[in-house]
């Protein structure tokens, strides 16, 4: 097949992490991007990379414009230089899940603002003892959700004990350990903002085993509106974001960028919504 007749081909770069093939985030991003490339009659290559060593993110084959029309970064682990390197070599790029001040294309949600409003919901319900299980702060999503929590508490004039800030890294096992740590505190929190639903479900299970009633004794807010929530006996209050739309728009925009059809940089911030359910209540 001649190069002139080949199908447009885009690469979706996904950092490797635990349970990646069962990941709601990765699965929805891939699904959204696949919907777009299917409609455009293009190809999508999935490139799973090492999270701790970024040198392998951009091998020589990815940077050949004869075969690759653009790169979508599902996340960049706060390594903006990876994207800049690709741009310097003339490769159209789109970053997902990161809001960037630099003139770099992105589609994202405002994780800080969403977390801020989630914690404000606790405050409106009368909670003052509010803790958090943060995500992986090497990602902007994890870091900004933690910062949103901190800013809401600061604005409310509430001093947060250091023991109230724990880390689950968006993973089940660390989240479970963080939940046990928080719920065993002498001054136990009455509300916990959790940076992902997967981690929030671990917290709910730990609370159940410790016979802590939700929401009478403990209110919980998660993040993602993950379908796994349907298996929970107590419907989880959570921040809803459209990950499928994130992937779909990212692929749609990289196609337009590769053909010079849009003005650069493309900067799109998608809305989020707090889904109020039964895991939160007035203190």
Listed by start position, the domains of the chain span 3-109+242-271, 111-240
Locate the DSSP E strands across 176-276.
Answer: 191-194, 219-224, 237-240, 267-270, 273-275
How much is the pLDDT for 4?
A: 55
How much is the pLDDT for 2?
A: 46
CATH number belonging to domain 3-109+242-271: 3.40.50.2300
All residues at 6 or more sequence positions from 105 whose CB lies less than 8 Å from its CB, including other chains = 93, 94, 95, 253, 254, 257, 264, 265, 266, 267
How much is the pLDDT for 1?
A: 43
CATH number belonging to domain 111-240: 3.40.50.2300
My answer on whether omega of the bond before 215 falls inside 30° of 0, hence cis, is yes
pTM of the predicted model as reported, rounded to 2 decimal places: 0.94
Reading the chain (283 residues) residue by residue, the pLDDT tens digits are: 444 578 999 999 998 876 677 789 999 999 999 999 999 999 999 999 988 788 888 988 889 999 999 999 999 988 999 999 999 999 999 999 999 999 999 999 999 999 999 999 999 999 999 999 999 999 999 999 999 999 999 999 999 999 999 999 999 999 999 999 999 999 999 999 999 999 999 999 999 999 999 999 999 999 999 999 998 999 999 999 999 999 999 999 999 999 999 999 999 999 999 999 999 999 8
């Amino acid at each position: 097949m001649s190069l002139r007749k080949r199908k447009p081909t885009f690469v979706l770069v996904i950092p490797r992490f635990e349970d990646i093939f069962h990941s709601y985030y990765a699965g929805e991003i891939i699904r959204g991007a696949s919907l777009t490339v299917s409609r455009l009659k293009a190809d999508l290559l999935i490139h799973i990379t090492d999270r701790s060593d970024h040198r392998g993110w951009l091998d020589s084959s990815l940077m050949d414009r004869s075969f690759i029309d653009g790169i979508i970064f599902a996340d960049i682990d706060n390594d903006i230089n990876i994207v800049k390197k690709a741009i310097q070599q003339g490769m159209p790029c789109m970053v997902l899940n990161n809001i960037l001040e630099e003139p770099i294309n992105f589609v994202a949600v405002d994780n800080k603002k969403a977390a801020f409003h989630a914690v404000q919901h606790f405050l409106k319900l009368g909670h003052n003892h509010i803790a958090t299980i943060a995500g992986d702060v090497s990602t902007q999503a994890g870091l900004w959700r933690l910062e949103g929590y901190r800013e809401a508490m600061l604005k409310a004039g509430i001093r947060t004990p250091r023991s109230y800030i724990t880390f689950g890294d968006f993973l089940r096992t660390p989240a479970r350990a963080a939940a046990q740590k928080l719920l065993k505190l002498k001054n136990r929190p009455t509300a916990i903002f959790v940076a992902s639903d997967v981690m929030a479900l671990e917290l709910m299970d730990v609370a159940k085993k410790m016979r802590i009633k939700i929401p009478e004794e403990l209110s919980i807010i998660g993040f993602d509106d993950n379908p796994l929530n349907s298996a929970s006996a107590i419907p989880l209050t959570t921040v809803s974001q459209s990950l499928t739309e994130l992937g779909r728009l990212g692929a749609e925009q990289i196609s337009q960028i590769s053909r010079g059809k849009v003005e650069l940089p493309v900067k799109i911030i998608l809305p989020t919504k707090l889904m109020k359910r039964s895991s939160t209540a007035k203190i």
